[in-house]
Copies of this chain bind each other. A is one copy, B any other.
């Protein structure tokens, strides 16, 4: 089969991706590094029993009992090496052509399990639910601080994803503005809303369901699909089928559906790519005019089996060696227990 390249534009963000069409690549075309980093559990600040070295908890799921001791299943703590901090101001310092400001915001860590070597996606759905519950609770709380305009949750799993610690954790950052990756989506969504008076994610979902080639799993209220302009092999988006701008407003049932879906998708990805490193990104609507009508929360799953290279730095075009239609088919057909 001849491999050719198609330049695709993501309909929401406008970013460009060069998608290689043609047959599914051999697995040994990818950088399949083993995910574990092999930290010593004895030194791990996130392990149960080491609560004092991780710092005072902001939130935890506990069956009763005091804070900052064992007995939790999910635990939120301050990031010890935060990118953004609660102290500082928003003033822009201008010095000729140079502009800078303080790193104002919040940066917290969600420890997803008390057990050192248990990956997030190995948790049973009811335990996964508690992680999503913590994400939602932190987003709700951070939104109350009127200095913050947007929150982003992300996760690094495995060395190739940028993870520095083995123990499963995700991170939430609250920004006093809209960071570039969210802003480009918001602009695309706003353009679509002005033109069509509808949410672009809702239109996209309807379109993908009608076509079906890029659908990975179609559950009752939750949908998983391979995006048209996927940046990396097997990139998958999970989102509610009905319009829902904010993850922090998601119902308990929606978190349940997300947990079931996430578990199923990760089992398929683990099968297809032999337990790859991956990143997660959760985008929810920022506090911005029209965002509630035009934005739609979604979880991006980004397996990390290719590298960010000179091509990406130099052109800003991502190159994806696996067409999303191929990836969706592989994931649909995956042999998984669940």
Residues of A at the B interface (CB closer than 8 Å) are 3-9, 11, 15-16, 18, 31, 81-85, 96-103, 152-156, 159-163, 171, 173, 175, 179-184, 192, 200, 203-204, 207, 228, 279-283, 300, 302, 306-317, 319
Contacts and interface: CB of A to CB of B under 8 A. Distances in A.
B307 A180 contact: no
A156 B4 contact: no
A168 to B, nearest CB: 13
6 contacts: A9-B98, A18-B103, A83-B311, A96-B207, A154-B313, A173-B311
Given A7-B103, A182-B315, 4 more contacts: A97-B204, A156-B307, A162-B309, A302-B313
Given A85-B5, A179-B317, A307 B162 contact: yes
Contact of A181 (B156, B180, B316): B316
Contacts of A11: 97-99
B316 A182 contact: yes
Best-buried of A97, A175, A228 by chain B (most CB within 10 Å)? A97
A161 B309 CA distance: 5
Best-buried of A162, A184, A203, A282 by chain B (most CB within 10 Å)? A162
Assembly of this chain: how many copies? 2
A23 to B, nearest CB: 14
Contacts of A98: 8-9, 11, 228
B192 A315 contact: no
Contacts of A81: 3
Contact of A100 (B8, B313, B317): B8
A163 B307 CA distance: 9
Contact of A300 (B180, B312, B313): B313
Contacts of A279: 309-310, 313-314
- Please list the 8 inter-chain residue pairs (A to B) with the smallest Cβ-Cβ separation, ordered nearest first: A162-B309, A154-B310, A180-B316, A181-B316, A5-B103, A162-B307, A179-B315, A11-B97
B314 A153 contact: yes
Contacts of A9: 98-100
A239 to B, nearest CB: 15
Contacts of A102: 4-7
Contacts of A192: 97
A204 B97 CA distance: 7
B99 A156 contact: no
Contacts of A312: 162
